[in-house]
Amino acid sequence: MWRNGPIEDAHAARPTSWRKGMPDGLMFARNTWLTRQAFDVLASAHQYRLFELESLILDRDTEWPGCGGTPTEFGWGFLGEVRKHVRKRIDQFSYFEEALEPDDFLGQKRT
């Protein structure tokens, strides 16, 4: 959800009085944490797991582990674009999850 999206734009942008800088190490820590969350959610059989992931990603008050800040602090000025980007990706996954058989969605069986 982050690759080539607005959070990378925030990462590349200069810090402002409203937005903290996001050096490469911080971006790597955020991507690592987010990837772990995505794997956990996608491995779950819970019906609304994709929307739980969306809520987790878009929660502006969640401190990013290993980063010492929140999405608001690192994404100020890009938050609207981040919201649109994430919702679009979650909607795409939801569509395919509904349209495909469980064995075909992400190539795994649900038990």
Q: Which of these, 46, 44, 55, 41, lies nearest to 87 by C-alpha position?
A: 55
For the stretch 23-73, pLDDT in tens is 888 888 888 888 888 888 878 888 788 898 899 889 998 887 777 888 888
Confidence of residue 106 (pLDDT cuts 50, 70, 90): low
Burial letters 77-90, b for 16+ CB under 10 A, else e:
ebbeebbebbeebb
Structure confidence at residue 26 (pLDDT): 84
Say what the pLDDT of residue 88 is: 93
H or E segment to which residue 7 belongs:
helix 6-12
What are the residues whose beta carbons fall under 8 Å from the beta carbon of 87, sequence distance 6 or more?
54, 58
In the structure encoding, which two tokens stand for residue 51, read together?
A: 């929307």
Q: What's this model's pTM, rounded to 2 decimal places?
A: 0.77
Q: What is the pLDDT of residues 63-100, one digit of tens each?
A: 877 778 888 888 889 999 999 999 998 998 888 888 88
What percent of the chain shows pLDDT beyond 90? 12
pLDDT for 84: 94
CA distance to 9, 23, 80, 101, per residue, from 83 (Å): 14, 22, 5, 28
CB 93 within 8 A of CB 50: yes
Q: Specify whether the CB–CB gap between 42 and 102 falls below 8 A.
A: no
What pLDDT shows up at residue 83?
Answer: 93
